Chains A and B, each alone.
Chain A
Amino acid sequence: MNTTAPAPAPASDSAAARMRGVGLDLSGLHRSFGATRALAGFDLSLAPGELVALLGPSGCGKTTALRIVAGFDTPDQGTVSLDGKDLTRLSAAKRDMGMVFQSYSLFPHLTAAQNVGFGPRLRRIGSAERDRQADELLELVGMAGMGGRYPHQLSGGQQQRVALARALAVRPKVLLLDEPLSALDAKVRLQLREEIRRIQQEFGITTLFVTHDQEEALSMADRVAVMRAGSLEQCAAPAELYDRPATAFVAQFVGTMNHLSGQIIEAGRVRVAGRELPVDGPCPTVGTKVKVLIRPESLDLAAASAEAGTAESAGAGQVLMATFLGATTRLTVRLGDGSEAKADLPSHRASEFPVGSRVDLIPAPRPVLAVEDADDTAEG
């Protein structure tokens, strides 16, 4: 995946002038459905004009959180406030939030333009003005000239574009996106991703974006909020989330992660693959056997120093497989204890280690996360 996250995009000056975003605060949200706890004390703050992606495995409560913000559901506890005003109990119809649903949300008996004009029509805006706005918005989402088509005459991607225009037509204070790309083809998805981001920045509109696709979250969002079992695990800019995950769950959920066996040798230091590395974050007690989390790009390889069968080096193994990824090649190495590790090397260097060759792992000398062995079962 693309590891270079977009720089926290400053909304261009002209866009900021067009629309002032507002801040959105979710605090202490609890919501249970029978015995299932969908949200258990969920907090999140969105700065004006910011796009935050809610990322998490299915069933983590992200959709519930979005529906509570939209007003389709009411929390058992906690508040939602917009620009400092509590609107937890405000009816969904009065919240001024534009929502784009997963799919099939366009009204099938109305044309694209009529769909876009639906919100303005409810607000008693004249038909001439409505049509003008609809044309403008359809052009903005790349659907110029298609206003007369019915939803069943549009592709999935086109339908979602119209849905976005419809949500924007009511000039919402907040834009809510509920996995709007998940039902689309990979190619259309990539294209729409960029356009949604462009339009969001142009409007400077505060946006909450629910997705289970980490690549989508990392490439589009100013900040990514990772959820797990109804509460927030970490909320940070994509690059930070990737490089400095706050918890083992985040580390495993975002990107590819190696789990190497290691042992804490002194407070704040862990021995792994024959090296000593500083431990980032909470450190288990000295002597504990741990799993050390290292990204594939932070692992290097060297031709085996020890002869086969002699002095057992913890980082020694054999190349099992090479996967060409373009500029880099991912080498899968089987270690002495039977586990596997993945290392990303520049492709020209990877060719030095053909499949079957014996190698030593060399972790980059950077702080790493260490978790106790038993805790290794966290879901991904």
Chain B
Amino acid sequence: MARSGKKLGAWGAVLPLLGYCAVALGLPVWALIWEGIQAPDANGVNHFTFSNFTTSWHGVYLTGMLSSLRLSLLTAVISAVVGLVAAYAIAQSRGRLLKQAVLTASGVLANFGGIPLAFCFVATIGTGGVFLSWLNDAWPSFQLGTFDGLVVVYPYFLVPLMVLTTLPALDGLRRQWREAATNLGGSAWQYWRYVGGPLLLPAALGGFVLCFGASFAAYATARALSSGTVPLVTTQIASVLSGNVLATETNLGMALALNTIIVCGLMMAVYLPLRKRSAKWLES
């Protein structure tokens, strides 16, 4: 009747999206898995095997994975701390204009960043960059196209990401909570220990996880700055796929890609419950 017709219409409006995602997401992921567990033998015939995964956790690929993890952890920690402090400073300021400017700039940097940012840094502290000689006085071994260089550049898009994820939570901290804690005899430290800290923790950890994920998945910046000299999972995947390697290695590329999905999936498994909790608190 009219009611069930409405329900049907609603499903009709949702199904295209679901179908689209099933195809556009499902097929590639299925392809990764399907090809990742196969490898051609000497005759070029594919067989099911776990050898790709074994290889992907050994030798240069293990080095790449470890260095990716190290880079992501380090930059995520730096960005999370800096971003949280920055977000707090911004949340405290009253100027609407400043807030808007910072938020939109963060949106652009966190999303659009990659390549344009890399070039700004190349012009600043790359070879022949404006400030390179100054920086080398203080840090002689510094080069942009190295692990250290990436550590300097990555926060440029990770800090804005952290600001974007934690600002809503910081804005959601009500003045009444602070005053109530004070009124009940709490010091500033006690407020942060028992109220502010626990309330912010989910958002802060969530921001950290997002920073980690963004750092781990970053390819463009690393590629543009280091041209592949820093071994990272993402650049290894790209070079495995770029064609000038043996056919067996394309299957290895799938395995490597699956590894990144597993790592990010694990991080999301941590993040999602935290996000849910934080949202509930701040909406009440």
A touching B, CB within 8 angstroms: yes
8 A Cβ contacts from A98-153 to B: 98-99, 101-109, 118-119, 121-123, 150-152
Partner of B182 from A92, A106, A109, A123 at Cβ < 8 Å = A92
Question: What residues on A are CB-neighbors of B199 within 8 Å?
Answer: 107-109
Interface size class of B (residues with CB under 8 A): 20 to 34
Most buried by A among B180, B183, B195: B183
Q: How far is the CB of B205 from chain A (nearest CB, A)?
A: 14
A122 touches B176 (CB 8 A): no
A170 CB within 8 Å of chain B:
yes
CA distance A169 to B185 in the complex (A): 11
B284 touches A118 (CB 8 A): no
**Can you list, as one digit per residue, whether each of B173-212 has a CB less than 8 Å from chain A (1) or not (0)?**
0101101111111110010001100110000000000000
A107 touches B284 (CB 8 A): no
A72 CB within 8 Å of chain B:
yes
Q: How far is the CB of B101 from chain A (nearest CB, A)?
A: 25
8 A Cβ contacts from A52-98 to B: 70-72, 91-98
A105 touches B182 (CB 8 A): no
Interface size class of A (residues with CB under 8 A): 20 to 34
Question: What residues on B are CB-neighbors of A123 within 8 Å?
Answer: 185
Instruction: Tell me the nearest residue of chain B to A153, going by C-beta.
Output: B284
DSSP class of B's interface residues: helix, strand, loop or mixed? helix
B280 CB within 8 Å of chain A:
yes
CA distance A92 to B179 in the complex (A): 9
A166 CB within 8 Å of chain B:
yes
B180 touches A105 (CB 8 A): yes
Instruction: Tell me the nearest residue of chain B to A118, going by C-beta.
Output: B184
- Do A101 and B187 contact each other (CB < 8 Å), given the known contacts A108-B281, A109-B198? no
A118 touches B182 (CB 8 A): no
CA distance A149 to B177 in the complex (A): 18
Instruction: Tell me the nearest residue of chain B to A67, going by C-beta.
Output: B179
A118 touches B181 (CB 8 A): yes
B176 touches A119 (CB 8 A): no
Question: What residues on B are CB-neighbors of A105 within 8 Å?
Answer: 174, 176-177, 179-180
B184 touches A166 (CB 8 A): yes
Instruction: Tell me the nearest residue of chain A to B284, going by C-beta.
Output: A152
Partner of B187 from A93, A102, A119, A150 at Cβ < 8 Å = A93
CA distance A272 to B204 in the complex (A): 71
Q: How far is the CB of A183 from chain B (nearest CB, A)?
A: 12
CA distance A223 to B132 in the complex (A): 74
Partner of B185 from A72, A94, A102, A107 at Cβ < 8 Å = A94
8 A Cβ contacts from A168-191 to B: 169-170
Instruction: Tell me the nearest residue of chain A to B280, going by C-beta.
Output: A152
A92 touches B284 (CB 8 A): no
B41 CB within 8 Å of chain A:
no
B195 touches A107 (CB 8 A): yes
CA distance A312 to B184 in the complex (A): 67
Question: What residues on B are CB-neighbors of A151 within 8 Å?
Answer: 284
B187 touches A104 (CB 8 A): no
B283 CB within 8 Å of chain A:
yes
Question: What residues on B are CB-neighbors of A92 within 8 Å?
Answer: 179, 182-183
Q: How far is the CB of B187 from chain A (nearest CB, A)?
A: 6
Question: What residues on B are CB-neighbors of A98 within 8 Å?
Answer: 183-184
Q: How far is the CB of B228 from chain A (nearest CB, A)?
A: 46
CA distance A71 to B181 in the complex (A): 13
B282 CB within 8 Å of chain A:
yes
Question: What residues on A are CB-neighbors of B180 within 8 Å?
Answer: 99, 101, 105-107, 166
CA distance A95 to B185 in the complex (A): 8
B182 touches A119 (CB 8 A): no
A122 touches B186 (CB 8 A): yes
CA distance A103 to B175 in the complex (A): 11
Question: What residues on A are CB-neighbors of B283 within 8 Å?
Answer: 152
A104 touches B182 (CB 8 A): no
B281 touches A109 (CB 8 A): yes
B185 touches A122 (CB 8 A): yes
CA distance A72 to B183 in the complex (A): 9
CA distance A97 to B183 in the complex (A): 7
A70 touches B282 (CB 8 A): no
B198 touches A93 (CB 8 A): no
- Do A93 and B281 contact each other (CB < 8 Å), given the known contacts A105-B177, A107-B177, A109-B199? no
Most buried by B among A91, A93, A103: A93
Question: What residues on A are CB-neighbors of B284 within 8 Å?
Answer: 104, 108, 150-152
Partner of A119 from B179, B184, B280, B282 at Cβ < 8 Å = B184
What would 6 more interface pairs be, CB under 8 Å, given A93-B187, A122-B185?
A92-B179, A92-B183, A101-B180, A102-B176, A166-B184, A169-B184
Q: What are 15 inter-chain pairs, A to B, with CB distance below 8 A?
A: A70-B179, A71-B183, A91-B182, A92-B179, A92-B183, A94-B185, A95-B183, A99-B183, A104-B284, A107-B181, A109-B198, A109-B199, A109-B281, A118-B194, A152-B283
Task: Give chain B's interface residues, CB within 8 Å of chain A.
Answer: 174, 176-177, 179-187, 190, 194-195, 198-199, 280-284
Q: Which 8 A-B pairs have the closest CB atoms?
A: A152-B284, A119-B184, A105-B176, A108-B281, A99-B183, A92-B182, A101-B176, A105-B180
